[in-house]
């Protein structure tokens, strides 16, 4: 086959025609793409993954899927192809070799105690607290300690997939500031304890400062929830626990408390109040305020019924309970009774990691 010879003069119009043709094709493609874009909803973020764990009631796990997020809310979950067809995002996180799932929740922690990790090992809870932890806290813990320790804890939790935690420690404002800056969510307890502590002199001082903390942070940031954190019924007496309950009710906040954690606590309650630990709390109407009990290792059958009736949440801390020889919590019995049971790590000093 012979090609027709094209002279220089004829070549110029051909170039012009080709350019116009390509321009028209490009324009058509751009128009089509623009039309498609205009049909897609504009959102902030698409997160892709080889698998997406939806947490729907039927337990659906999507393969090659994506999550659409806008203004901080998940608005759609489904196959990646469908999500990309329906939404146009400002940012997309590629999820090759990744699973997308809800962040974990650490139901009980003392975040800043990452800096006390390894201070005391292999001893029972009360010896651990009274001989080592409480003295070390009075000597070393200040606002800067809490800031650095909490920053480390947040990094450690995020690295392990935890995005929300419940905290009880000193200098609650500092903890809140760290959470605000790192992007996590937290329920932050203002610790109440009737002894000299790093940020208070006694129970009354703790309550006063706790109320001020709650007033500063309540409704300030949707990721931060301030609550009261009375330490226990062996570091506070009945009158002081009632005062915390009343303050929490007046402030409209919940309570986070160590409860029935050790044989010592149960024995202390019997000797001081004539009844077991949870029955004592119930006898003073402590549960009139929304309450979450940490540990709950030694409840009786009657106390489990009380927790269920009073809708008290429980946080099981298995590693900490083993390390401090607190015991083995009756988790199955509590679940069977209808109690909501979550998981926690406790502080790194009584767990060694978060």
Question: How many whole angstroms separate alpha carbon 2 and alpha carbon 225?
Answer: 83
Dig out the tokens for 44 from the structure: 């902030």
Q: How many CB atoms lie within 10 A of CB 71?
A: 8
Please state, in angstroms and rounded to a whole number, the distance separating the CA atoms of residues 111 and 149. Answer: 7
Where residue 51 sits, what CATH number does that domain have?
2.30.40.10
Confidence at residue 1, expressed as pLDDT on a 0 to 100 scale:
32
Domain hosting 55: range is 41-100
Rounded mean pLDDT, 95-99: 91
Asked if residue 24 is part of any domain, the answer here is no
Predicted confidence at residue 119, as pLDDT, reads 87
Instruction: Give first-to-last CA distance, the chain, whole Å.
Output: 77
In a domain, 146, yes or no: yes
In a domain, 1, yes or no: no
Residues 54 and 169 in one domain: no
Q: Look at residue 34 in the predicted model and tell me its pLDDT.
A: 54
Spell out the residues 6+ positions from residue 9 whose beta carbon is closer than 8 angstroms to its own: none
Mean pLDDT, residues 92-110 taken together = 94
Pairing of strands 73-79, 224-230: unpaired
Assigned domain for 4 exists: no
| For the chain, percent of residues with pLDDT exceeding 70 | 89
Exposure b/e, 272-304, CB count within 10 A at least 16 = b? ebeebbbbbbbeeebbebbbbbbbbbbbeeebb
The string of pLDDT tens digits covering residues 211-234 is 999 999 999 999 999 999 999 999
Beta bridge partners of 169: 190
Strands 87-93, 291-295: pairing is unpaired
Beta bridge partners of residue 92, listed in sequence order = 46
CA 178 to chain CA centroid, Å, is: 13
**β partners of residue 328:** none
Co-location of 279 and 321 in the same domain? yes
Rounded to the nearest integer, the mean pLDDT of the chain is: 89
Is there a single domain that holds both residue 167 and residue 68? no
E strands along 199-287, which residues? 224-230, 255-259
Same domain, 92 and 113: no
Domain final position from 85, 100, 115: 100
What is the mean predicted confidence (pLDDT) over 317-339? 95
Mean pLDDT, to the nearest integer, of 139-157?
96
Supply 207's token pair. 């309550």
| β 99-100/87-93 pair status | unpaired
pLDDT at 125: 85
Quick one: pLDDT at residue 129? Answer: 87
Q: What is the pLDDT of residues 164-213, one digit of tens each?
A: 999 999 999 999 999 999 999 999 999 999 999 999 999 999 999 999 99
8 A C-beta contact, residue 354 and residue 162: yes
Q: How many domains does the chain have?
A: 2
What's the CATH number where 343 sits?
Answer: 3.20.20.140
* pLDDT score, position 36: 54
| For residues 4-12, average pLDDT | 32
Overall average pLDDT of the 109-114 stretch? 96
Q: Which residue has the higher pLDDT, 92 or 17?
A: 92
Same domain, 197 and 264: yes
């Amino acid at each position: 086959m012979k090609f027709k010879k094209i002279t220089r003069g004829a070549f110029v119009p051909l170039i012009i025609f080709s350019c116009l043709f390509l321009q028209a094709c490009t324009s058509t493609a751009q128009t089509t793409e623009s039309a498609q874009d205009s049909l897609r909803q504009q959102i902030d973020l698409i997160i892709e993954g080889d698998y997406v764990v939806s947490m729907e009631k039927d337990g659906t796990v999507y393969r090659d899927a994506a999550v659409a997020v806008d203004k901080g809310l998940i608005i759609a979950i489904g196959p990646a192809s469908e999500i990309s067809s329906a939404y146009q995002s400002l940012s997309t996180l590629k999820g090759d070799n990744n699973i997308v799932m809800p962040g974990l929740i650490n139901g009980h922690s003392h975040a800043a105690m990452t800096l006390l990790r390894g201070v005391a090992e292999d001893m029972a809870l009360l010896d651990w607290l009274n001989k080592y932890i409480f003295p070390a806290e009075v000597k070393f813990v200040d606002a800067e300690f809490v800031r650095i320790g909490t920053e480390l804890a947040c990094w450690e939790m995020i690295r392990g997939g935890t995005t929300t935690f419940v905290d009880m420690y000193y200098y609650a404002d500092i903890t809140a500031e760290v959470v605000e800056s790192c992007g996590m969510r937290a329920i932050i307890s203002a610790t109440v304890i009737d002894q000299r502590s790093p940020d208070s002199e006694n129970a009354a001082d703790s309550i006063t400062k706790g109320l001020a903390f709650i007033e500063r942070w309540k409704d300030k940031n949707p990721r931060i929830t301030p609550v009261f954190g009375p330490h226990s019924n062996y570091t506070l007496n009945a009158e002081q626990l009632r005062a915390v309950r009343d303050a929490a009710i007046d402030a409209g906040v919940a309570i986070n408390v160590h409860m029935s954690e050790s044989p010592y606590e149960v024995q202390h309650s019997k000797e001081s109040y004539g009844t077991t630990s949870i029955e004592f709390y119930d006898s003073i109407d402590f549960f009139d305020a929304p309450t979450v009990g940490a540990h709950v290792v030694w409840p009786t059958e009657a106390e489990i019924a009380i927790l269920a009736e009073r809708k008290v949440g429980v946080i099981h801390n298995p590693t900490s309970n083993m390390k401090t020889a607190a015991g083995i919590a009756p988790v199955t019995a509590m679940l069977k009774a209808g109690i909501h049971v979550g998981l926690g790590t406790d502080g790194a000093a009584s767990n060694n990691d978060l």
